[in-house]
Each structure stands twice: as structure tokens, then as C-alpha cells.
Structure 1
């Protein structure tokens, strides 16, 4: 039985990786805009997502919108297959494949959260490099020298300055975000798709996948945006010349953000995050479901 399952699992991993690469490349300009917006800490000069995106293109050209794409793709080669395939495997622990729609939403949410945590721990170094390189583009736009010349250089410098464990800087807010995001993404997509099909709103086709992915993106963004803001700021901070950092931990970052910028600052980048997650969810799930169909695998 295990030998029969192995090729199926491998196929799912490959297809999830391929779908994630397509989705990440398509939506990456929105992601870098969201990251720059979250790193914008001043309240005196309000900045919109459109202003930030326009500033990037004006100062760095269109290629500036893809700063950090390579580590982002590398991250998803680990992150997305682990969480999606892991979700399915954990789901089968409770019920057989043909009856997984009988699982309640809270159970699916826990399964999705746990899958996301496992995947994020593995992919955290690539996520750190991605955030650092995206923030580097902001330094260039301000007339400063970039910290890193590329992904490998960023990896080496982080290890040199912070040690090997420095690759997991921000891993705890990362884990918190991953748990929340995958509660929204995986559990909501799974539940919404079967709700749409069961109530004959649409068959198991692109229409059902589109509706489910839209609901998934909205719920994931609402739940995870505060943790995403904290994660981005924690991962981008570096040790100063005095040997200190701005935020001691994720809780300290949360408190200082609310104290100095207001409660609404926790949802900085909400619309670009939603604008990214919506298309990302659509491209990923439609591609993944289609690839599975072509490969002769059952629907997610």
C-alpha cells in the first residue's frame, strides 16, 4: 500500500511545485509592493500601494518589481508542496479520501494550520532571503547601496553576520502567520469548494475552483495580515552597530507597531495582500486542479 502511494505523493509534490512557480511569478510584483508598504513606518506621509509600485518602476524599471523572485520561487519549491500534500495526508488520517468532505471546518482549519507550520519551518531561510532582497530594492530607491548582490550573497552574509541559526530569524512570527494563513487558504478552499459542489452552484470545474479560491484568499488575508506585518518587520531588521535590534521579539514588534502607528497599522498592506492572494490562489488552485486532472489524480 505504501509503495503504491509513493508515486502518487511524488506526482502531487511535483505538480504543486509547478503550480506554485506559475502563481508566484504571476503575482510577485504585487507581493513586493505589499512588502514595501508594510516596511513603510512613517505616518506623516501616507503612501498607497499604487504610489509604491509607481516609485519602484520609476527608479528601478520594471525589473525592480521582480527583486527577490528567485528566493521566492525556491521557497515555494519547499513550502507549497509540503503544506498542500501534507494537508491531504493529514486529512486522510481522519477519514478516507472519498469522505473527507464530511470533516468539519474547525478540524480542517487545524489540519491546515499544522501543515503550514511544518512547511514554513523548512522554507523559512528562503523566505528570509526573499524579504531582505525585496527590502534591498527600497534602499536602492533611496539612493543607498544595496546590502546584497544576489540570493547567494544574501545567504552567505546572513550566515556570516548572524550565524547559521540567523537563517531562521523571524521564524516564530513566520510560524504564527503560516498557521493562520493556511487555516484560511487550505481549509477554506477545501470547505468552500465542496460547499459549492454539494449545493450544485457549480460542478467540480474551473468555476467551483475560482469561487473557492476567492473565498480562500479573502479569509486568509483577513486572518493573517497582522502576523504578516510583524513577520516582515522582524525578518527585515538587522543588528545595529550597538549590537541591538529594534524589536526584541514578535510581541514587542506588535506592541510598538500599535503604540506608534495605531491599531490599523496591523493591516498595512491589506489590499495589496488581498490583491496578491486572490490572483495567487486563483492561478495556483486552477493550475493545480488541472494538472492533477491531466495526471489522472483525483481532485484536491
Structure 2
């Protein structure tokens, strides 16, 4: 049956709204990524450190980067990080909202709040998996370029001169499939991060509003972003450590690879460095996720309001 004029207009509005949301998420993600990237770089360096030195901490690592490379050294790898979020964030945010609304509509519910936390967690995790598979090559380049800073600090030549050079060399030396190295721990991390982040933000914001702790404003968005950042960090940090180490390793001169799989990386990390090593970089990760989510969610919610869209 041919849809009515009202149904066609509704479909057009839905498509238009989706395009607007993709643009708004991209803008908000760029702002959040740029403002918190130095913390992400520090976290990556900590996770790549396989030593058991108790003196290694986030402040010391950040200080060494500034001393050896200058303040701009804290932004090594920013361009592929932004490219990643131009792919990753719009897909996961819009996919989650569409999944949530579709399930609510199918159940005859009246809003996202009618979904259980477990249902939101599954929707968030699934959305993150889809987005991460698409964005994994950009994530790989970001991690490799961040790790290059350690080579520079040791007086060695960096492997890559820029994002395009990194992409070209990875394809030439490791094959096209090499762009998805670490994709499995990456996907695992994305599932856990988005399960904690999206579901917790959505649920926490509605909890705050429904219990009249705050209206649907910056206070509710801030509280929800802090809570979601903590839960996402706790769930995802072990997978993040494995992902970072898997993505950074490349075949040596003799083709030797340190970790054969993400499981092998997990086992060796725990056996050699102890269980606590799986949460290396926890505080800089949380310190980044908190501000990142604050900047992202507050700006995204505000941009939605300006664009005439309903609250997330």
C-alpha cells in the first residue's frame, strides 16, 4: 500500500533529522576529542609501558612528553583521532537512538525511559560494535602515531610521518587486512564502552529528571555524563589495554609478533605484570572520559535544542 502524504512527510522528517543528528554528533565529538586528547595520549603511553615500575604515573608521563617534544607533543596523533570520531561517534550515537526508539515503538512505549537498563545496554553495545568495525583503521593509525612519540623520545626515527603515510605503510607491510589489526579487542572494548556509556547516560539522565533532582538541563547532563564515564571506564579498561597493545605491535624484521591473539595478550599481561595491569591507565582514562562526555553531551544536547530536535 502506498504511504499517505502524512506518512511520507513523516519519513522525510525522520531522514532529515538523522542527517542533522549525524552532523551534530560529529561537531560535538570534534570538540570533545580536541579538548581531551592530551589525556588520551598519556593513557596510551601508560598502557604501552610493560614495565612494573611503580613510579610510572600519568603526571610523570605527560611531563616527559612536554619536556622532550614540547606542548604540541601532547597532540601527536590528533588528526587520525578526529577522523576516527567522525566515523565512530555519529554511527554509534544515532544507531543507539534509532534502536532504542524502534524497540519502544514496537512495544508501544512512550519514550526511551520505558526501556529497561539491560535493553539499553544491549542496544548501546551493539551500536558500538557496528561503529568500531567501520572506524577501526583510523583507530589503528591513531594508536601507532601516539606510540611513535616514545621512539622520538629515545632518539629514534618515528615509523610514520603522518596519517596518510601510516595508512600506506601499514597496507604495504601488513596487507589491507592489517588496517583491522586489533579489531577483535577493539570491538570487545567498543561493546563494553558503549554498553556502559550510552545506557548509563540515558538511564542516569532520565533517573535524575524523573526524581526531580534537576530539569533536562546542563546539571542533569553533567551528572549523567560523570556516572556513565565511571561505569564505561570500569568495564572497558582491560579490553582497552589489550586493544592498545595489539594495535601497536607490528611484525619485526624477522616477522616476530609479541602477541598471537587478544587472548594471548590478556594471558601474558596478567602472567607477567599481574592482574592490576589490566587497569593500567584507569585514572587517565576516567579523567578523559569524564571531561570528554561532559563536553560531548552538553554540546550535543545544546546543539539538538538549537536545531529544534528533542532531547537525547
Report whether the alignment pairs 1:136 with 2:148.
yes
2:306 aligned residue (290, 294, 298): 294
The residue that corresponds to 1:107 in the other structure is 119
The residue that corresponds to 1:67 in the other structure is 76
The residue that corresponds to 1:51 in the other structure is 60
The residue that corresponds to 1:260 in the other structure is 272
Report whether the alignment pairs 1:211 with 2:220.
no
**1:95 is paired with a residue of what secondary structure?**
helix
Q: Rg larger in 1 or in 2?
A: 2
1:33–1:44 distance in 2 versus 1, CA, 3 Å: closer
Whether the 8 Å CA contact 2:101–2:111 is kept in 1: the answer is no
> How far 1:143 sits from its partner (Å)?
1.1
1:246 aligned residue (258, 276, 287): 258
The whole-number CA distance in structure 1 between the counterparts of 2:22 and 2:198 is: 16
1:93-104 counterparts in 2 under 5 A? 93-96=102-105, 98-104=110-116
1:29–1:44 distance in 2 versus 1, CA, 3 Å: closer
The residue that corresponds to 2:3 in the other structure is none
**1:200 is paired with a residue of what secondary structure?**
coil
What residue ranges of structure 2 are gaps of 5+ in the alignment?
1-9
The CA deviation string for residues 132-171 of structure 1, in whole angstroms up to 9 with x for no partner, is 0000011101111100001110010000001111100000
1:1-300 counterparts in 2 under 5 A? 1-44=10-53, 46-96=55-105, 98-300=110-312
The whole-number CA distance in structure 1 between the counterparts of 2:214 and 2:31 is: 25
The whole-number CA distance in structure 2 between the counterparts of 1:185 and 1:114 is: 12
> How far 1:3 sits from its partner (Å)?
2.2
The CA deviation string for residues 160-218 of structure 1, in whole angstroms up to 9 with x for no partner, is 00111110000000000000000111000000000000000000000000000000000
> How far 1:46 sits from its partner (Å)?
3.2
The residue that corresponds to 2:4 in the other structure is none
**2:231 is paired with a residue of what secondary structure?**
helix
The whole-number CA distance in structure 2 between the counterparts of 1:107 and 1:2 is: 26
The whole-number CA distance in structure 2 between the counterparts of 1:5 and 1:244 is: 51
The CA deviation string for residues 45-94 of structure 1, in whole angstroms up to 9 with x for no partner, is 63010000000000000000000000000000010000000000111121
Number of paired residues?
A: 300
> How far 1:98 sits from its partner (Å)?
4.0
Q: Which moved more, 1:241-250 or 1:215-224?
A: 241-250
The CA deviation string for residues 248-291 of structure 1, in whole angstroms up to 9 with x for no partner, is 00000000000000000000000000000000000000000000
Alignment TM-score, normalising by the size of structure 1 = 0.99
Whether the 8 Å CA contact 2:132–2:187 is kept in 1: the answer is yes
- Alignment RMSD, CA only? 0.9
> How far 1:2 sits from its partner (Å)?
2.6
**2:209 is paired with a residue of what secondary structure?**
helix
The whole-number CA distance in structure 2 between the counterparts of 1:98 and 1:218 is: 29
Runs (4+) off by over 4 Å:
none
The whole-number CA distance in structure 2 between the counterparts of 1:77 and 1:21 is: 8
